[in-house]
Structure 1
Amino acid sequence: MRNPLSDIITEIKPSGIRKFFDIVSEMEDAVSLGVGEPDFDTPWHIRDEGIYSLEKGRTFYTSNAGLKELKAEIANYLYRTQKLSYDAGKDIIVTVGGSEAIDIALRAMINPGEEVLIPQPSYVSYEPCAILAGGVPVIIELKEENEFRLTAQELREAITNKTKVLILPFPNNPTGAIMEKEDLEAIAQVIREKDIFVISDEIYAELTYRGKHISIASLPGMQERTVLINGFSKAYAMTGWRLGYACAPENIMEQMLKIHQFAIMCAPTTSQYAAVEALRNGDEDVAMMREAYNQRRRFLMHSFKEMGLKCFEPYGAFYVFPCIKEFGMTSEEFAERLLREEKVAVVPGTAFGGCGEGFLRISYAYSLENLKTALEKINAFITRLRKQEQK
């Protein structure tokens, strides 16, 4: 019988995160710091609006691009936070999470063989989505000494005559790194000079703990070169509602909408009504959750310092990326032993690209109680390793 499978999809490796989740799900008393998902419930007033929409029988398709009211609120949000002006009728599409937005943006923009620059460590979907779009992923290895920021020099050195798109993943998953305005200005200069485009994944924009998040689209000459992606999963604790959005110049958006029409039809109606409420009245919820995450972030950094575990200080998202190179193990070996010996689950840095070797992703989207328990176990584990090395 002929092979029913695509050569392209069979060559793509599955997510390196899932392996540890599967083990944890079958392990009693395991403490997981691996999930990139808020531990808060969706705020009640947002849930109430979703419930109300169901009670009112609003269970039909919306327009392909999304509810008119929601797109208007997205445009308002981006203007009040970034001073960006988008036409809600032409420049915005509501998607099934930020992940769909990444996928359709790449499929709308990439011709076969064109190169997509992907700074790593970064979110696991970028590289496979680029491949599925027919593009050629080109990895830019971010460096710890630069706090895992993308530099203009690194970008310039990676660009060839086949480069079409840079994916800009900040605030970053898994490192927690952010880009300051001066970093973005240097990047933008190279992008304009080399005539390439940007897909800016800003899903963690509201979870910034030093200064204020700045979108590269807000810099001179960049809005017309940028697909801005955001959503409701992280800032509003709405992961299960599966709702994101993309904003782009009309010529790009027309093609993204075409793919969305054929593949999805529209994002979930109930989720869209809830998201309208989130944008209108959710600022205080976001501020509360951001402060709680920041408290946990500071607790982790203090704990790492006390146990002598090297970790640069991240100022975004809800992850830390400690270095475990001193122990002479691969990231996967370290994570497997930590899980087996102490029942604590973390994610190897290599799940986010080869340059994540020697690091771990630890999520602090967990209660302080859980974090304290896990850190006690991590401290016991590395203390034991250090004693073994001294023998």
Structure 2
Amino acid sequence: MTEHTPSLQTKLPKVGTTIFTVMSALAAEKGAVNLGQGFPDFDCDPRLIQAVTDAMQRGHNQYPPMPGVPALREAVAAKVQALYGRAYQPATEITITAGATQAILTAILAVVRAGDEVIVLEPCYDSYVPNIELAGGVAVPVPLTPGTFRPDFDKITAALTPRTRAIIVNSPHNPSATVWTDADMRKLQEILAPTEVLLISDEVYEHMVYAPNQHLSAASYPGLAARAFIVSSFGKTYHVTGWKVGTVCAPAAMTAEFRKVHQFNVFTVNTPMQHGLAAYMADPAPYLELPAFYAAKRDLFRAGLEKTRFRLLPSEGSYFQCVDISALAVPERDLPEAEFCQWLTSEIGVAAIPLSAFYGDGFDQKVIRFCYAKKDETLRAALSRLERL
């Protein structure tokens, strides 16, 4: 019998291998310092490992409740109320997820129907648009202001239509490292107030904001919190990105819809890590001290970059540093961002990510992104190579 492979019509025709995979593979091939992908190259607190080990040894190895271990949801509720002043009910308004990316997809699948529009602010994290398309929705890109990456509320307002179902906001912002201000949050609250538009607030870098800036959660603004899925990440906060554990806070009616999808795309999240995280959260110091920890790495990295011809953009939050390459004294500065990053990896020995990868149309503004969530010796090794520029 002749084999026949059925033809497939892709649901994501614009999606191929991500730039992160491409650049990490090239970095490995060339022996480059990888400042491309956004994850630490250092270990988490041994006490967190021990807390998870203890949970395993106590027998917490079977399915937990679908929304998450109660102790962890209670710890999240206590943290959010202490930091942002809103009381979420652990039983009905907090769900533990298999990372923030799953949380965002689940929120979109829960509320976006075929033909619904979802506003995304570009540049944006690369999962947003494919998630919207998987739900049958239409992504409506609105550019952040080039150069400053501040929200343009006139353009956001103009993008709102009767078909708009949701808007996705990310602060601290990946990739630009900007942080929304109180005025920004109040303006968003104002323009959404007369609408039925939902908010997906991606706050995974909430504990990486540097003075004088501060993280302003949508939870702190009643008009936003009432319509928001607020997404956070234990992986980012505790240096355990491979664990893939996140959380979503939302009003009870929205959480009920979220959980309808959550129970069928992951059902629940690994049990011992939930118990370990709940125990570890009893001490708030690890996340309260995180800004100082990352600010020191940011300052070390920026001081080294100032010896080059890169033009440094502000890094107000997250663990990213964007630089303008247009003043470099090398002919390769005239390459498209993606080709420049390949040259930088191959010839200089440092991997970065082009900002054009975060735009649907590949908008190129001669800006690239480094990640400084690395050991100090890793950053110094990269800087010693970049000083050639």
- Provide TM-score, normalisation by structure 2: 0.92
1:230 aligns with 232
* Residue from 14, 21, 26 that aligns with 2:24: 21
1:370 aligns with 378
After superposition, give the CA deviation of every residue in 1:222-251 in whole Å (9 maximum; x if it has no partner).
211111000201111121221001111222
2:207 aligns with 206
Do the aligned partners of residues 364 and 65 (structure 1) sit closer, same or farther apart at CA in structure 2, a change above 3 Å counting?
Answer: same
Q: Which amino acid aligns with 2:107?
A: A
Assess if the C-alpha contact under 8 Å between 2:37 and 2:371 holds in 1: yes
| SS at structure 2 position matched to 1:63 | coil
1:388 aligns with none
2:312 aligns with 311
| SS at structure 2 position matched to 1:178 | coil
Question: Deviation of residue 180 (structure 1)?
Answer: 0.9
Please tell me whether residue 9 in structure 1 is matched to residue 17 in structure 2: no
1:70 aligns with 72
Query: Identical aligned pairs, as a percentage?
Result: 26
| SS at structure 2 position matched to 1:306 | coil
- Looking at secondary structure, tell me which structure has more helix per residue: 1
1:169 aligns with 170
* CA RMSD, 1 decimal: 1.7
1:135 aligns with 137
Q: Determine the C-alpha separation between the residues in 2 that align with 1:101 and 1:6.
A: 26
Assess if the C-alpha contact under 8 Å between 1:350 and 1:356 holds in 2: yes
Please tell me whether residue 87 in structure 1 is matched to residue 89 in structure 2: yes
Do the aligned partners of residues 3 and 118 (structure 1) sit closer, same or farther apart at CA in structure 2, a change above 3 Å counting?
Answer: farther
Q: Which amino acid aligns with 1:379?
A: E
- Range with bigger deviation, 35-44 or 221-230: 35-44
Please tell me whether residue 328 in structure 1 is matched to residue 329 in structure 2: no
| SS at structure 2 position matched to 1:234 | helix
Q: Determine the C-alpha separation between the residues in 2 that align with 1:278 and 1:135.
A: 39
After superposition, give the CA deviation of every residue in 1:99-155 in whole Å (9 maximum; x if it has no partner).
11000000001010111111111211111111111111111111244x212132231
Please tell me whether residue 343 in structure 1 is matched to residue 349 in structure 2: yes
Question: Deviation of residue 356 (structure 1)?
Answer: 5.4
Please tell me whether residue 193 in structure 1 is matched to residue 194 in structure 2: yes
Q: Which amino acid aligns with 1:102?
A: I
2:160 aligns with 159
Q: Which amino acid aligns with 1:213?
A: H
Q: Which amino acid aligns with 2:226?
A: E
2:241 aligns with 239
Question: Deviation of residue 162 (structure 1)?
Answer: 1.5
- Range with bigger deviation, 313-322 or 295-304: 295-304
List gaps (5 residues or longer) in structure 2. Answer: 328-332
Assess if the C-alpha contact under 8 Å between 1:188 and 1:216 holds in 2: no
| SS at structure 1 position matched to 2:382 | helix
Q: Which amino acid aligns with 2:156?
A: L
Q: Which amino acid aligns with 2:241?
A: T
2:218 aligns with 216
Q: Determine the C-alpha separation between the residues in 2 that align with 1:64 and 1:356.
A: 43
| SS at structure 1 position matched to 2:40 | coil
Do the aligned partners of residues 343 and 240 (structure 1) sit closer, same or farther apart at CA in structure 2, a change above 3 Å counting?
Answer: same
Question: Deviation of residue 4 (structure 1)?
Answer: 4.4
Assess if the C-alpha contact under 8 Å between 2:106 and 2:262 holds in 1: yes
Do the aligned partners of residues 288 and 86 (structure 1) sit closer, same or farther apart at CA in structure 2, a change above 3 Å counting?
Answer: closer
- Range with bigger deviation, 6-15 or 43-52: 6-15
Assess if the C-alpha contact under 8 Å between 2:207 and 2:290 holds in 1: no
Assess if the C-alpha contact under 8 Å between 1:121 and 1:356 holds in 2: no
Question: Deviation of residue 316 (structure 1)?
Answer: 0.4
Equivalent positions of 1:282-293 (< 5 A) are 283-293=284-294
Q: Determine the C-alpha separation between the residues in 1 that align with 2:156 and 2:267.
A: 36
Q: Which amino acid aligns with 2:340?
A: F
2:330 aligns with none
Do the aligned partners of residues 159 and 3 (structure 1) sit closer, same or farther apart at CA in structure 2, a change above 3 Å counting?
Answer: farther
Assess if the C-alpha contact under 8 Å between 1:293 and 1:365 holds in 2: yes
Assess if the C-alpha contact under 8 Å between 2:26 and 2:346 holds in 1: no
Assess if the C-alpha contact under 8 Å between 2:204 and 2:231 holds in 1: yes
2:363 aligns with 355
Do the aligned partners of residues 376 and 40 (structure 1) sit closer, same or farther apart at CA in structure 2, a change above 3 Å counting?
Answer: closer
Question: Deviation of residue 66 (structure 1)?
Answer: 0.5
Question: Deviation of residue 220 (structure 1)?
Answer: 3.0
Q: Which amino acid aligns with 1:374?
A: A
Q: Determine the C-alpha separation between the residues in 1 that align with 2:303 and 2:28.
A: 29
List gaps (5 residues or longer) in structure 1. Answer: 383-391
| SS at structure 1 position matched to 2:91 | coil
After superposition, give the CA deviation of every residue in 1:45-104 in whole Å (9 maximum; x if it has no partner).
211110011111111100100011111111111000100111111111110001110000
Do the aligned partners of residues 198 and 375 (structure 1) sit closer, same or farther apart at CA in structure 2, a change above 3 Å counting?
Answer: same
1:108 aligns with 110
Assess if the C-alpha contact under 8 Å between 1:45 and 1:277 holds in 2: no
Q: Which amino acid aligns with 1:209?
A: Y
